[in-house]
Structure 1
Amino acid sequence: MKRKEILVKTLKFNGAVADNDDAEVYDWFGMECITPKKVNDFLNEANGEDVTIQINSGGGSVFAGSEIFTDLSKYQGKVTAEISGLCASAATFPILAADKVGISPIGQMMIHNVSSLAQGDYRDMSDAGKFLTGASNNLANLYAKKMNISVEDAQQMMDDETWFNAKQALESGMADEILFENNKQVKMVASISPILPQEKINQIKNMINKKTNDKKNSSLDNKFTSDQMESIKNMIDEKISEVKAEFEANNTAVKPPKNQKFKPLFLGGIK
């Protein structure tokens, strides 16, 4: 008699880690994102059963990631994290809450410090520095526990912006196993998925809300004026140009671009 296969509920943790209020903008552009609400709804539906969180994300909002970490940590069932592609920045938070972590043979992980934008006088800059130091130290403590190393060593790895391939993730303790080790064939793909800048999200949300209010109903009128369409086009072109220029300047198969690509992924939640 065949053994009955146990189906585990799986959540695709893909795209930017975004705040709940920003999800509508990503949806409007047809871009993937993961929010605390999506994770919470998934866990409520799972109702204590074992779950798998399948991660392919470059990170995003620190505060959204923190909420997701908290919900996964409190969940009564077993949580398995599987890194199917990229697990960087705030997208590493679920693995810190998981009972078991697996990584694809061609998966990658990355940890670094929290970053943000700030303006004001020396007092504002000092306050921002204290906040970033505290937030990064919180993460260093969690990474240190995960890898069974000192907090100082974990903080140094964050300072250095440390990347792990599958073997390095396993050796460091960031992962517990490499998936599909017995498979002879593995298909590889590559892509660049930029996160929307917070200022652009806010601008577009204001435009969407204005159009909705003008129509006095709940449906979104997609017929923007020529000026509005030009504004949106410029936003998209600007982001595409930035990513293209960065990619061309750092085009290498040895190591992904340092700092520039993923530092902004943390600042989405710091306001």
Structure 2
Amino acid sequence: MKNKKFWNWTSHKVTDQEGNESVERVLSLNGTIAEESWYDDDVTPALFRDELDSGEGDITVWINSPGGDCIAAAQIFNMLSEYKGKVTVKVDGIAASAASVIAMAGDKVYMSPVSMMMIHNPATIAFGDHAEMQKAIDMLEQVKESIINAYAQKTGQSRAKLSHLMDAETWMDANKAVELGFADEILTRNVSDEEHPSVSMMFSRKAVDNALMNKVSAKFEKEHKPVAQQAKIPVQETDTGRSVAEITERLSIIKNFI
């Protein structure tokens, strides 16, 4: 085999709520996704597919990887997407770069409360003149578009927003990953309801607005009496010191001089 294996298969029995037993297959992806590219490697991808197809039933994929070769990630994504059984992805450490692409193949994606996910633009190393540099740029743009396909399919986010998140090299904790659609749920411990009672909360903006207006209205009515109950304020007569006749006479005199 050309590449060092970065995956491992295990299996164990599980019992459902009805008491039925079944064998769960577990795929663990740890470390760098392919230390050498799968671009011209036919042996390693074939081995991965053979091991994937060697069993049947649902599988759980545990991911703890900083990323790696995008070609290998794309092939693994396709193989998991085409698998006939249900694929559940669980990120227990980090799913960064190419590893985040593989995570998108899960029918359900779970994040550990302390795990992280990171997405960014693909990168490469190029050598040569400006024509070779342009080829590398064009290739990276196409690779980015293919990666966005996987993200858009899972998250439902627009391609423009996903492109912006990749440009910024976005790191997401479990809550943010769920919020943006990269994950479905956060992994929790199995505890009984007696130990941790379930609390349900619902936020309604209309209910909050109505409650606030009722409080303001009650406070206003308490502090301010209705107009009908307000005491009448007598009009105070102002003594100008001159009668109307005197003022009229003075105006007539002034008019004669105009």
Considering the TM-score relative to the shorter chain, is it more than 0.5?
Answer: yes
Aligned sequence identity (%) = 40
Q: Provide the rounded CA distance (Å) in 1 between the counterparts of 2:22 and 2:185.
A: 20
The residue number in structure 1 matching 2:54 is 45
Contact 2:113 2:187 in 1 (8 A): yes
**Which residue type is aligned with residue 185 of structure 2?**
E
Contact 1:144 1:153 in 2 (8 A): no
The residue number in structure 1 matching 2:184 is 176
Unmatched runs of 5 consecutive residues or more in structure 2: 1-16, 39-43, 193-258
Contact 2:36 2:69 in 1 (8 A): no
Q: Deviations over 1:101-120 (max 9, x none)?
A: 01111110000011000010
The residue number in structure 1 matching 2:31 is 15
Contact 1:73 1:98 in 2 (8 A): yes
CA root-mean-square deviation: 2.3
TM-score under structure 2 normalisation? 0.61
Q: Provide the rounded CA distance (Å) in 2 between the counterparts of 1:180 and 1:100.
A: 15
The residue number in structure 1 matching 2:64 is 56
Unmatched runs of 5 consecutive residues or more in structure 1: 23-34, 185-271
Q: Relative to 1, partners in 2 of residues 1:129 and 1:18: Cα closer, same or farther, differing over 3 Å?
A: same
Moved over 4 A (4+): 19-22, 181-184
Determine which structure has the larger strand proportion and give its number.
Answer: 2
Q: Provide the rounded CA distance (Å) in 2 between the counterparts of 1:4 and 1:161.
A: 45
Q: Relative to 1, partners in 2 of residues 1:21 and 1:124: Cα closer, same or farther, differing over 3 Å?
A: closer
Q: What is the SS of the residue equivalent to 1:92?
A: helix
Contact 1:11 1:42 in 2 (8 A): no
1:124 aligns with 2:136: no
Which structure has the larger Rg over C-alpha atoms? 2
Determine which structure has the larger helix proportion and give its number.
Answer: 1
Q: Relative to 1, partners in 2 of residues 1:109 and 1:15: Cα closer, same or farther, differing over 3 Å?
A: same
Q: Provide the rounded CA distance (Å) in 1 between the counterparts of 2:115 and 2:46.
A: 26
**Which residue type is aligned with residue 175 of structure 2?**
K
Q: Match for 1:151 among 149, 153, 159?
A: 159
The residue number in structure 1 matching 2:170 is 162
Shift of 1:160: 0.4
Q: Provide the rounded CA distance (Å) in 2 between the counterparts of 1:73 and 1:39.
A: 14
Count how many residue pairs are aligned between Structure 1 and Structure 2. 171
